[in-house]
Structure 1
Amino acid sequence: MVTSHRRPATRYYRRAPGAGWLAALIVVPLGLGLIGWAGSPQREALPELPAIATSATDTETAGPEAMVAPFSLRRKGNDVVLSGQLPDPASVAFAMDKVRTNLPGTTVLDLLTPIAGVTAADLTRFDGVLKAGAPLADFGFSIEGATITLFGTAQSDAAKLRLARAVGAAWPDLKVIDDIAVLSMAPPVPE
């Protein structure tokens, strides 16, 4: 005689997770993230960066109320990159047109973002900056808050000063930091 051992069919059901599970779902990842952030060995083990000697000059024209959206221009040879934030598409088109007009023969890459309501640098006097920078194959500037930082290389102190003055005249309410390096020609080797 063979007997079958069948189990009676049971109904399996799942209850909805309770408040404890919901709290754990929120608290546990936050706790783990906080622990990881606070004790990160990568953050503590960063090597010290070497100090770089620069001859930056500050102008004392900036007022604390002059805070504008980020904007930058970088020229490297025949390539010009514009990036940052402007208040509308018309301002973006205006900036692109100014660069194409004052730096003919360059390829202009538009990384500008129109954001309604941002306070942007006044670009109506942008021509003077571009004309002063036109002889330089490697130059640029970035506007962050109330500060403009110039960078790149110039063939002479006069070209460097001309660009710094043009930037100061275009945006007199912003502080100018001039980090442009002047190329020095090596003296000829006697034979």
Structure 2
Amino acid sequence: MTQDASGGRSDGEGRWSAREHAHDGEVVGVERVATWAEETRRYRRSPGGWWWLALLLVPAILAALGSAIGGESGGAKAAGSTSSVTSTASTSGTTSSSTSNSPSSTSSDTATSGGSAAGDVSSGVFSISRSGDEVTVAADVPDEAGRTALLEAVKAAVGGAKIVDHVNVVPGAKAASTAAVSSALGSLTNAGDFGLAWDLKSLTAVGNVDSEDAKKSIGAALGAAWPDVRVQNDVVVGTDAAAVCSNLGGQITVALASTKITFQRGSTDVKSTSTGVIKKVASLLAACKDAKVTVTGYTDSSGSKAENLALSKGRATSVGKILTSNGVSSDRITIKGLADADPVANDNAPGGRVANRRVEITVN
């Protein structure tokens, strides 16, 4: 821990704790303990102009700071935003997003035009994936109209599949274009159990097709639907074990985009709502015995570098322990903590710090 000018101590990501002992008139954390004489004098004074100014400005300043800093849980969801189609909605992606990149794709599989700035597809992570006759949609939309439009676009593209709704209504969110979603899903119709995910870094597609031409056609369609972002085409040709494991990184990306790995602010403890997706990653690794992964933790930019390095590594370690407890050998996992390096969002924007507090799992 570091010590601030008033004697308080920082434990990373901007949390402060007060000194343990106070004497009459001594500064403790951010509060000053006044003497009895000072208290009685204070109540005998008439409020001056500075007092009224402070009364007006302090609430406004606190509100602005709260908006900029955000909480680890992300933006508040509107009441009634969870559809009756499913029982659970995923955590907003403006939090911290969990991402993965596959090393299996070559340069010919990647369509890039312009930058890949966060928000080019949507302001939060999103994923659409099919498993059998179910298609799961996890995304942030600004209102109920956006929710209806997205789900209707998915229904039209996937035919009679059952839609599992994990869509969050987050006021102010930028949703993925429904026209782009329709075009992308149309290209993936014959890709078996497919997945499409945006992790604030790139747009990843997974699935199985029977020819290289079919794979290239999907890549071209995704590049046309979202021309200003990096497209990671992890669709594979064939259905044998080797083919399935060759797009393991993309499968992890889709899984982590559907359910975010989250932590309490300043904590290394994984929230219980995040353990399910980590177990899913463990099951993917169980099917690919030779695969090794790196688990990398990140923080926002508040707090000291040394403290945030320790915090980010602690978060990665917590995720690694859940993987090992679910059958993944520890020698297949590399743990790293990179503090506030490689941010995926503006740390000074509302929700930006939340998005940058994340864990990424990448295939070595």
Q: Does 1:95 align with 2:150?
A: yes
Return the structure number with greater strand share.
1
Give the superposition deviation at 1:77: 2.2
1:55 aligns with 2:110: no
1-structure distance, mates of 2:189, 2:211? 14
SS in 1 for 2:179: coil
Specify the code of the residue in structure 2 equivalent to 1:102. A
Deviation at 1:110, TM superposition (A): 0.5
CA distance in 2, matches of 1:55, 1:146: 15
Tell me how far 1:74 sits from its aligned partner. Answer: 0.5
Larger mean Cα displacement after TM superposition, 136-145 or 105-114: 136-145
**Following TM superposition, by how much is the alpha carbon of 1:123 offset from its aligned partner in structure 2, in angstroms?**
1.9
Change (3 A) 1:87 1:62: farther
| Counterpart AA for 1:171 | W
Match of 2:196 in 1: 141
Alpha-carbon distance between aligned partners in 1 of 2:105 and 2:199, rounded to the nearest angstrom: 20
Q: Does the 8 Å contact 1:129/1:166 carry over to 2? A: yes
Q: Choose which of 74, 77, 81 in structure 1 pairs with 2:129.
A: 74
| Closer, same or farther: CA 53–167 of 1 in aligned 2, 3 Å | closer
| Residue 20 of structure 1 pairs with residue 21 of structure 2 | yes
- Aligned-pair identity (%): 26
Q: Secondary structure at the match of 2:194?
A: strand
Which piece of structure 1 moves more, 55-64 or 173-182? 55-64
Runs of 4+ in 1 over 3 A off after TM superposition: none
Provide structure 2 residue ranges, at least 5 long, that are not aligned to the other structure: 1-19, 23-27, 29-101, 241-364
Query: Is the 1:66–1:174 Cα contact (8 Å) retained in structure 2?
Result: no
> Which residue type is aligned with residue 85 of structure 1?
D
Q: Deviation of residue 104 (structure 1)?
A: 1.1
Q: What CA deviation, in whole Å up to 9, does each residue of 1:77-101 have, x standing for no partner? A: 2110000212222111111111111
TM-score (normalised: structure 1): 0.64
Number of aligned positions between the proteins: 139
Q: Secondary structure at the match of 1:120?
A: coil
Partner of 2:44: none
Aligned to 2:187: 132
2:166 aligns to what? 111
- Kindly indicate which of the two structures has a greater share of residues assigned to helix: 2
Distance 1:180 1:89, change over 3 A: same
Find the counterpart in structure 2 of residue 85 from structure 1: 140
- Aligned residue for 2:214, secondary structure, equals helix
Kindly indicate whether the alpha-carbon contact (under 8 Å) linking 2:141 and 2:168 is maintained by their aligned counterparts in 1.
Answer: yes
Structure 1 vs Structure 2 CA RMSD: 2.5
Question: Judging changes above 3 Å, is the alpha-carbon distance between structure 1 residues 184 and 75 closer, same or farther for their aligned structure 2 residues?
Answer: closer
Q: Which has the larger radius of gyration?
A: 1
Output one character per residue of 1:98-153: Cα deviation in whole Å (capped at 9) or x when no partner. 11112112011010111111223222232221221112221111012141011122
Distance 1:152 1:184 in 2: 9
TM-score (norm: length of structure 2): 0.35
Q: For structure 1, which runs of at least 5 residues remain unmatched after alignment?
A: 1-18, 24-51, 186-191
